[in-house]
């Protein structure tokens, strides 16, 4: 079964491709390579001894996208393509709304035109903003605090409207899973693919890995005065392969829904437990034996104290549960970092 993966060359994309191949699906990649390289896909081809059809295409290119759907018998779409840097979204909101929202509209129009109605969308825990209660359930208030988060919420609403529209339709009823990711980290255990951020990493895990490898001098911990157990921020880190397998579980769910029934469900993908920055550092040092120098600095603007999921809906609806622990997350990150000090090396 052929599944189109937009943004398939990116960090979550390559791991999702691996999970799809592991489960016997045929992924077809669409990516404009604006934040990735083709090398990750090439490495999976080598690892799995297979060929992955890849189109260098911007999802806003309606004509090319239609051609790709027409050339392949696509049964479903995993839509990961988008821009994701919170700070950049504040300084350049138009690019974020254009790429994320307009790009998704082009994709949805193409799908509707060609009768493909199975969609998995990569949303984010950022749609919850600063949560009132923890753990966060899917019906919590949605209050994104930056243009990136707003763009994710807008797309969720568009998807919901589409599913509502087809509730009474006779064919092509939309079936959509809106996956709200918490904090994906780690890499496939092969060490051949991983997170390869352009420039200095924004996120804590790749930053720690680059300090440990000597590329960066020290970690700045953004705030040690949060109302948490040790004063540093708490997040729900999830192994990227668990997240990738969550996409396959969501795909199976979507494909199992009867043709005339439409569905659009928001589903948290997290582990349900929170880890502070200091705890993350200490697990990293224990697992790798490498010391990571750090200093405390001011809180990062827009950051929240604590955020972790209630992942029970994913379990009951999709039969999926994260299975890899923090030790695996950090040791797989470190294997990738050690084997690929310059990432994909381009
Ligand atoms: P990434 O930047 O590594 O991957 C995104 C991919 O999309 C890149 O390969 C990029 O080249 C491609 N792309 C961007 N705009 C495109 C366009 N217009 N047309 C075609 N391709 C385009 O990011 P990622 O971490 O793999 O994230 C994947 C998705 O998951 C994103 O939508 C992101 O917002 C979402 N997400 C990520 C995280 C995270 O922590 N990584 C958390 C929550 C949600
Ligand atoms: C960030 C984004 C979020 C996005 C997520 C995954 C912001 C405000 N939020 O989330 O929208 O979905 O990435 O891409 O950017 N930290 C440090 N030092 C660092 C980096 C981070 O102390 O150099 C701390 C942060 O303050 C936080 C924790 O580490 O407490 C995790 O940070 P990060 O990895 O950036 O993820 P989020 O802030 O959860």
Q: How far is the CA of 204 from the centre of ligand 2 (A)?
A: 6
Band of residue 345 on the pLDDT scale cut at 50, 70, 90: confident
Catalytic annotation, pick one of 148, 207, 237, 344: 148
pLDDT of residue 346: 54
For residues 67 and 118, the answer to whether their CB atoms sit within 8 Å is no
Ligand nearest the Cα atom of residue 198:
1
- CATH code, 2-345: 3.40.50.720
For residues 27 and 21, the answer to whether their CB atoms sit within 8 Å is yes
Give 100-137 pLDDT, tens digit per residue: 999 999 999 999 999 999 999 999 999 999 999 999 99
**Which sign does the torsion angle of CA 153, 154, 158, 161 carry?**
positive
Mean pLDDT of 10-25: 98
Ligand nearest the Cα atom of residue 185:
1
- Asked whether residue 169 carries a pLDDT value surpassing 70, the answer given is no
- Asked whether residue 151 carries a pLDDT value surpassing 90, the answer given is yes
What are the helix (H) ranges across 4-85?
11-22, 39-48, 62-71
Give 57-72 pLDDT, tens digit per residue: 999 999 999 999 999 9
Q: Worst-scoring range by mean pLDDT, 196-200, 227-231, 319-323?
A: 196-200
Mean pLDDT of 322-335: 98
**Residue 148 among the catalytic residues:** yes
- Asked whether residue 75 carries a pLDDT value surpassing 80, the answer given is yes
- Asked whether residue 275 carries a pLDDT value surpassing 70, the answer given is yes
Band of residue 12 on the pLDDT scale cut at 50, 70, 90: very high
């Amino acid at each position: 079964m052929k599944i189109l993966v937009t943004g398939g060359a990116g960090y979550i994309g390559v791991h999702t491709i691996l999970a799809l191949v592991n489960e016997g699906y045929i992924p077809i990649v669409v990516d404009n390579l604006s934040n990735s390289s083709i090398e990750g896909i090439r490495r999976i081809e080598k690892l799995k001894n297979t060929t992955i059809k890849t189109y260098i295409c911007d999802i806003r290119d309606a004509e090319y996208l239609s051609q790709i759907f027409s050339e392949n018998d696509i049964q479903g779409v995993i839509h990961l393509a988008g821009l994701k840097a919170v700070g950049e979204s504040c300084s350049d909101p138009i690019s974020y709304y254009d790429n994320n929202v307009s790009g998704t509209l082009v994709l949805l129009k193409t799908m509707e035109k060609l009768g493909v109605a199975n969609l998995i969308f990569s949303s984010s825990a950022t749609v919850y903003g600063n949560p009132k209660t923890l753990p966060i359930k899917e019906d919590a208030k949605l209050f994104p605090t930056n243009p990136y988060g707003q763009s994710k919420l807008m797309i969720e609403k568009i998807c919901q409207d589409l599913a509502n529209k087809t509730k009474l339709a006779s064919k092509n009823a939309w079936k959509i899973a809106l996956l709200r990711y918490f904090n994906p980290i780690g890499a496939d255990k092969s060490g051949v693919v991983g997170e390869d951020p352009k420039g200095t990493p924004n996120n804590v895990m790749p930053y720690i890995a680059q300090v440990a490898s000597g590329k960066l001098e020290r970690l700045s911990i953004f705030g040690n005065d949060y109302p948490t157990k040790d004063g540093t921020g708490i997040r729900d880190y999830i192994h990227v392969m668990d997240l990738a397998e969550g996409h396959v579980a969501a795909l199976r769910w979507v494909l199992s829904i009867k043709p005339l029934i439409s569905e659009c469900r928001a589903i948290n993908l997290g582990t349900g437990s929170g880890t502070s920055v200091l705890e993350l550092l200490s697990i990293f040092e224990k697992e790798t034996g490498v010391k990571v120098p750090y200093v405390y600095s001011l809180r990062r603007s827009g950051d929240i104290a604590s955020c972790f999921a209630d992942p029970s809906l994913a379990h009951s609806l999709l039969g999926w549960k994260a299975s890899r622990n923090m030790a695996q997350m950090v040791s797989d990150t470190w294997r990738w970092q050690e084997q690929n000090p310059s990432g994909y090396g381009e």
